[in-house]
Amino acid sequence: MHIFANPARFLAIARPLTPWLGWGGALLVAVAAVSGLFLTPPDYLQGDSVRIMYIHVPSAWLGMAGWTGIAAASLFQLVWRHPLAAVAGQAIAVPGALFSAICLVTGSIWGRPTWGTWWQWDGRLTSMLVLFFLYLGYIALARASDDRTGANPIAAIFGLVGAINIPIIHYSVLWWRTLHQGQSITLSGSTIDASILWPLPIALLGFTMVFGAIVLMRMRTILARNKIEARLKRMAEA
């Protein structure tokens, strides 16, 4: 990771990679959307409402993966003093919060016809809501930093401590037998029929690529802003 410690070296890779991830991901998301809406059959129990899975599942995955990225960036910031770690954490936080919110909203929409309620204080739903609030807390701490790079050690510690919630979200359906269904996809197979399942990996890859493009764009923006602020500060001191 230290090969990217130089912002110029990072930008040389990020600039050409961003459009490839963005447009490639958008294309895959479009393919998954068309496939999920028109080429897959309705579920025998849930009917057409099952199609929201192609947005809900990737959003849940990215909400959890985003915080895992923040925890990793926080570790690099605190232990190895990586100069881009705080920038990466800041860049991940906003899209991570967005996808967590999308997960909660789509889950409520999916739950209404399936469970008969918009919300339940279920282990999975509650821990996902906690994740969303953790994102908001991290964003507030990072923006409260006096350091122009946003390298707030308190935010980094918060990022590491908040990672405790990730395994809670993952195992909540096993630890607490509540309203949310159990794990549908495991290493040993899937309980979802293949005729419905096949667009989901496409959606997962597409949304992940779009997420990566957003993070890279935000990192580039933060670095550009920091560079401008440093230049203005030098001009003011001259």
The pLDDT of residue 157 is: 96
The pLDDT of residue 188 is: 67
pLDDT tens sequence across 43-56? 888 888 899 999 99
pLDDT higher than 90, residue 149: no
* Residue 8 in domain: no
> With the CA atoms of 6, 12, 14 and 18 taken in that order, what torsion angle do they form, in degrees rounded to the nearest 10?
170
pLDDT higher than 90, residue 60: yes
In 3-state terms, what secondary structure has residue 14? helix
Query: pLDDT: is 85 or 232 the higher one?
Result: 85
Alpha helices in the chain (DSSP H): 7-34, 53-79, 85-115, 123-143, 153-162, 165-175, 194-197, 199-237
Indicate the average pLDDT of the chain. 88
Half-sphere exposure of 47 (CA within 13 A, CB side): 6
How many domains does the chain divide into? Answer: 1
* Residue 12 in domain: no
> For residues 18-49, b (16+ Cβ closer than 10 Å) or e, as one string?
beebbebbeebbeebbebbeeebeebeeeeeb
* Residue 186 in domain: no
* Residue 155 in domain: yes
pLDDT higher than 70, residue 186: no
pLDDT tens sequence across 88-137? 999 999 999 999 999 999 999 988 887 788 888 888 899 999 999 999 99
For 74, residues 6+ apart whose C-beta sits below 8 A from its C-beta are 85, 89, 155, 156, 157, 158, 159, 160
pLDDT higher than 60, residue 148: no
- Portion of the chain with pLDDT greater than 90, in percent: 63
The pLDDT of residue 128 is: 95
Q: What is the CATH number of the domain that holds 61?
A: 1.20.120
The pLDDT of residue 146 is: 59
* Residue 21 in domain: yes
Query: pLDDT: is 139 or 117 the higher one?
Result: 139
| Helix 53-79, helix 85-115: angle, nearest 10 | 150
Which residue in this structure is represented by tokens 């895959």? 28
pTM here? 0.91
d(CA 48, CA 36): 10
d(CA 32, CA 157): 38
The pLDDT of residue 190 is: 73
pLDDT higher than 90, residue 232: no
* Residue 185 in domain: no
User: Predicted confidence band at 35 (pLDDT cuts at 50, 70, 90)?
Assistant: very high
What range does the domain containing 93 cover?
A: 17-38+47-180+196-237
Query: Which residue, among 90, 78, 65, has the nearest Cα to 205 in the 3D structure?
Result: 65
* Residue 188 in domain: no
Neighbours of 195 (CB within 10 A): 10
* Residue 209 in domain: yes
Contact status, residue 117 vs residue 98, Cβ threshold 8 Å: no
In 3-state terms, what secondary structure has residue 190? strand
